[in-house]
Amino acid sequence: MMTTIKSVNRQRIKLLLIFIIFSAPIITAWGMVEWRIGVPEQITAHGSPADQLPLLEHWPLETVSKADGGEEQWTLAFDCSVQCAERRDILWRMHRALGRDAHRLARLNIGGEGQALPGEQLARWAEPPSWRQANSVWLIDPQGRLALSFPASVPVAEILDDTQHLFKVNAR
């Protein structure tokens, strides 16, 4: 009789331990949410949401040259009004830094002169819109909606970081 009681107690302890092991992550997550312990407060996006701007198809642009690309390409549009050659070169290098995802991005150079670089489309403002800022960069999704807007002060490494993150969370 004594061994039966010990066996039952042992089984109860095992069941209690299994219950604790499987409920601990839920209790931990609830505590993190309730008391904001261990929840990162940092911002991951360096650009700002561009929900106030019109769709790309409604931009007042005069197309100069077309880039080869498919329907599923994101567009990196940039206003090339100051230090244009340097800006084009650094954004072209950023595009190459995407590696195997480079085919998912096309660049739209607005206001640039000369020959289009690979993966680039040249355009001009038909009439500069009121929301335009010199040397800004906009990341546009395949449907023409603006995802992020980057002022000229944002380093290209941060634009690359945001682009890679968007490609990661928006798999083909």
**Whether residue 151 has pLDDT greater than 80:** yes
What pLDDT is attached to residue 24?
94
Q: CA-to-CA distance for 134 and 137, rounded, in angstroms?
A: 9
**Whether residue 130 has pLDDT greater than 90:** no
Q: Which of the pair, 11 or 40, is modelled with greater confidence?
A: 11
pTM flag (> 0.75)? no
Alpha-carbon torsion angle 43, 47, 53, 55, nearest 10: -110
Pull the structure tokens for residue 32: 């993190």
Q: CA-to-CA distance for 123 and 131, rounded, in angstroms?
A: 17
> Which DSSP state fits 78?
E
What pLDDT is attached to residue 67?
53
For 18, the 3-state DSSP assignment is helix
What pLDDT is attached to residue 18?
95
Q: How far is CA 5 from CA 1, 11, 15, in A?
A: 6, 10, 15
**Whether residue 41 has pLDDT greater than 70:** no
Q: CA-to-CA distance for 69 and 103, rounded, in angstroms?
A: 8
Superfamily of domain 48-169, CATH level 4: Glutaredoxin (3.40.30.10)
What pLDDT is attached to residue 12?
92
Average pLDDT over residues 18-39: 89
**Whether residue 66 has pLDDT greater than 60:** no
